[in-house]
Structure 1
């Protein structure tokens, strides 16, 4: 799963990296400890008709790539209140195309969620106390590039804002797709340390380490799948199912290039938000 992540690029820098426009840069907040229901950037593509053209005059449309702020936790149109998003910040790729909370978005409203890295917790038994302890890890591309998680988005009309006469009662929300952790052969060594990997064996070591930490993995978009995933054209139910299934294989290719290391348990408190959170514990003050 993905319950905390890092996105600390300034809006202008993020737009440059993604080759996208950022219409509301003031609404994007830098954070080293993003939690569900926070406002996060998402990358979308939409059609733009030429200025002054009527919808029926046959004028050509162009695709426009933009970064918009969204609530992390998907709000389908039928959600009764915003608290629903606290349980929809991740969508299981195995069922997203058919589950009521996500199926409409899979067919029509797909996005990418940029991240510089994310946190995951490994549960283990303390041999001295017998208690279960959870050790956080920071996971990020070894080359310092961005991760683009496969995401979905929805527009939800807030009934309270609507009743109050607020001129902007619509809330944009998003979720990150996840898949089962990879299974690799027993001959692939690795204990979850943070070395960088570039060859096949190193990639397998990373996958094994990820599976050792958690049985779920957020799905990253490979460059060749990003364009088709962001395409705003609607899909049929069969197309949606096939596209989501295809993401799982290419996501593992992306994960082979990641590195990971333990971090301090301070990341478990969302009030902590600083660059030191992504460093190994020995370097924390």
Structure 2
């Protein structure tokens, strides 16, 4: 599962790193504790350009009768996404990059759950594989998304049994390519990142509440 993450990287770094040609974001601010139901930064490819904007986290399939289904669709299991009605259409036609520089998971012990922040290499930004949808309620269009997850690699197994699908740079380009719909090619993109690429550290229980959105959320325990 991926239910909380951060994005504190400066905008100009993101624009260069993900080769973003256009952004519709009126304001970009660092986010330290991003939670479901919030608007989150994402990249889609349209008209041969990588476009950065925001999507509401929690997918509403185009066929949904009401928006409440989004609460259950913040994540999509990559192993079954090609079969599930909620995800299979988006997987073929509406894929996106969900930008992050760290995600949170809670490590279970006998008597507590310890919040951990997981990063790639030295904290560089990365792209999680996402799907997006446009849903109309009769009055307006709603643009929503979900994050694909996969069975944890050896590193993550010490913390949690699931992890987000983190795309390699080559796979980022494939993932955004609207022409690609072959199931085998898409499946090849949805693999756990190497354990050697990852690091993690304990953070404050501040992240337990989505109301807390401050730099202290990403600080290692003991550094405050």
TM-score by length of 2: 0.93
| 2: CA distance, partners of 1:14 / 1:97 | 29
By how many angstroms is 1:30 displaced? 3.0
Q: Give CA-to-partner distance per residue, 1:32-78, whole Å, 9 cap, x none.
A: 0000111011111112xxxxxxxxxxxxxxx1111121001111112
Look up the match of 1:202.
none
Instruction: Select which of 154, 175, 182 maps to 1:229.
Output: 175
Measured against aligned partners, the alpha-carbon deviations of 1:190-211 in whole angstroms (never above 9, x if no partner) come to: xxxxxxxxxxxxxxxxx33x11
Residue from 176, 183, 208 that aligns with 2:147: 176
Cα distance in 1 for partners of 2:100, 2:80 equals: 24
- Displacement of 1:13 in angstroms is 4.3
**Quick one: distance in 1 between partners of 2:211 and 2:38?**
12
Q: Deviations over 1:208-229 (max 9, x none)?
A: 3x11111101011101211111
Q: Secondary structure at the match of 1:224?
A: helix
Verify: 1:271 aligned to 2:217, yes or no: no
The question of whether the paired residues in 2 share the 8 Å contact of 1:136 and 1:263 is answered with: yes
Higher-strand-fraction structure: 2
1:136 pairs with 2:136: no
- Name the structure 1 match of 2:165: 219
- Structure-2 separation of matches of 1:21 and 1:82: 31
Indicate the residue corresponding to 1:39 in structure 2. 39
Of 125, 130, 143, the residue aligned with 1:151 is 130
The residue aligned with 1:6 is 6
Task: Return 5+ residue gaps in structure 1 as ranges.
Answer: 48-62, 127-132, 163-168, 183-206
* Aligned residues of 1:28 and 1:40 also touching (Cα < 8 A): no
TM-score (norm 1): 0.74
RMSD over equivalenced CA pairs, Å: 1.7
**Range moving further from structure 2, 226-235 or 105-114:** 226-235
Give 3-state SS (helix, strand or coil) of 2:36's partner. Answer: coil
Unaligned runs of 5+ in 2: none
Aligned match of 1:92 in 77, 89, 111?
Answer: 77
Alignment of 1:169-208 (within 5 A): 169-182=140-153, 207-208=154-155
Alpha carbons 1:27, 1:69 under 8 Å: kept: no
Q: CA deviation at 1:268?
A: 0.3
